[in-house]
């Protein structure tokens, strides 16, 4: 059975994310395990953890977490780097308590220091975090290619994979970001080239998002499935490639904009190979 769901809110309590996913008939989900727009982490009670784990066992939904937005693990500023690694470790510890095996993080911005430096910082951050917390894997997400970004080329992801050995480094591919950075994901020859550089087995999750702008725009603007420039034919072709359809697939699309959340998830499921 395909593992498909969407990013859902944790408003009112972490465990409510499972109720929201069940209501959507989802088999996968993504959540933030802390405030996505701040540095601070409110305490997580043992009761909240237990409630979350219980619903996880009951529903068997495949769950991944996403890092908050402020940390920048590509930073060459030692203070901001330290703070970012500390946040990565804290988020991993929280995932471990919650029984979440995968934490998605962006690779960040090199802030005019050059991509090579940025990539070295990312590798250092990942190594340090993996040394500090066991059981949880880090999934590096590809970027759309805004100025100074690290991770917009598949080569960037492969470079970190070369630097960090270990089973707990994986990748999350965002279709909107791939398309925005110029990868036509409907073409299998493009995918052949991508996965010639990055081991497809290391890709554990897919962010299935349509794009509000055309191929190569470098803009990170998610559209509802089928309502953007990627379109359903390209998604069908992408999902048919290799083992892509067996990954954890999560939508991060606008809520109830062009289509209801329920209908969008049904549509996304229908794009999988039969
Ligand atoms: Zn992301
Ligand atoms: Zn994403």
The catalytically annotated residue of 222, 227, 261, 264 is: 222
The catalytically annotated residue of 143, 220, 261, 264 is: 220
Q: What local confidence, expressed as pLDDT, does residue 211 receive?
A: 98
Sign of the Cα pseudo-torsion (263, 265, 271, 274, in order): negative
The catalytically annotated residue of 90, 93, 141, 210 is: 141
Q: What local confidence, expressed as pLDDT, does residue 3 receive?
A: 98
For the chain, 274 residues long, give each residue's pLDDT as a single digit of tens. Answer: 899 999 999 999 999 999 999 999 999 999 999 989 888 888 899 999 999 999 999 999 999 999 999 999 999 999 999 999 999 999 999 999 999 999 999 999 999 999 999 999 999 999 999 999 999 999 999 999 999 999 999 999 999 999 998 789 999 999 999 999 999 999 999 999 999 999 999 999 999 999 999 999 999 999 999 999 999 999 999 999 999 999 999 999 999 899 999 999 999 999 999 9
Active-site residue, 236 included: no
Active-site residue, 110 included: no
- 194-202 CB contacts, 8 Å cutoff, 24+ apart: 194/154, 195/242, 197/154, 197/155, 197/158, 198/154, 198/157, 198/158, 198/161, 198/171, 199/161, 200/242, 200/243, 200/244, 201/243, 202/161, 202/169, 202/170, 202/171
| Total number of domains in the chain | 1
Structural domain for 157, as ranges: 3-270
Active-site residue, 69 included: yes
Ligand at minimal distance from the CA of 179 is: 2
d(CA 6, CA 240): 20
Q: Kindly report the CATH number assigned to the domain that includes residue 24.
A: 3.20.20.150
Look up the pTM and report it. 0.97
Q: What local confidence, expressed as pLDDT, does residue 174 receive?
A: 98
d(CA 217, CA 225): 18
Q: 211 - beta bridge partners?
A: 222
- Going from the Cα of 141 to the center of ligand 1, the distance in angstroms, rounded, reads 6
- Going from the Cα of 28 to the center of ligand 2, the distance in angstroms, rounded, reads 15
The catalytically annotated residue of 6, 7, 20, 66 is: 66
Ligand at minimal distance from the CA of 178 is: 2
Active-site residue, 7 included: no
Active-site residue, 116 included: no
Active-site residue, 222 included: yes
């Amino acid at each position: 059975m395909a593992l498909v769901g969407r990013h859902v809110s944790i408003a009112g309590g972490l465990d409510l994310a499972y109720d929201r996913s069940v209501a959507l008939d989802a088999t996968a989900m993504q959540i933030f395990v802390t405030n996505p727009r701040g540095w601070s982490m409110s305490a997580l009670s043992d009761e909240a953890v237990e409630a979350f784990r219980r619903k996880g066992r009951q529903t068997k939904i495949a769950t991944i977490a996403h890092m908050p937005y402020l940390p920048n693990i590509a930073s060459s500023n030692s203070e901001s780097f330290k703070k970012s690694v500390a946040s990565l470790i804290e988020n991993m510890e929280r995932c471990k308590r919650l029984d979440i095996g995968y934490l998605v993080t962006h690779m960040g911005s090199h802030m005019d220091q050059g991509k090579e430096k940025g990539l070295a910082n990312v590798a250092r951050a990942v190594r340090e975090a993996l040394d500090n917390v066991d059981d949880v894997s880090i999934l590096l997400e590809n970027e759309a290619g805004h100025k100074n970004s690290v991770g917009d080329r598949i080569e960037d992801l492969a470079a970190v994979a070369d630097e960090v050995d270990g089973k707990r480094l994986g990748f999350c591919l965002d279709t909107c970001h791939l398309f925005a950075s110029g990868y036509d994901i409907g073409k299998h020859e493009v995918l052949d080239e991508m996965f010639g550089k990055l081991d497809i087995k290391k890709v554990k999750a897919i962010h299935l998002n349509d794009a509000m702008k055309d191929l190569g725009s470098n803009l990170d603007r998610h559209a509802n499935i089928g309502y953007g420039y990627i379109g359903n034919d390209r998604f069908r072709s992408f999902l048919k490639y290799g083992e892509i359809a067996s990954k954890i697939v999560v939508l991060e699309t606008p809520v109830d904009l062009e289509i209801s959340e329920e209908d969008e998830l049904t549509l996304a499921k229908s794009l999988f190979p039969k």
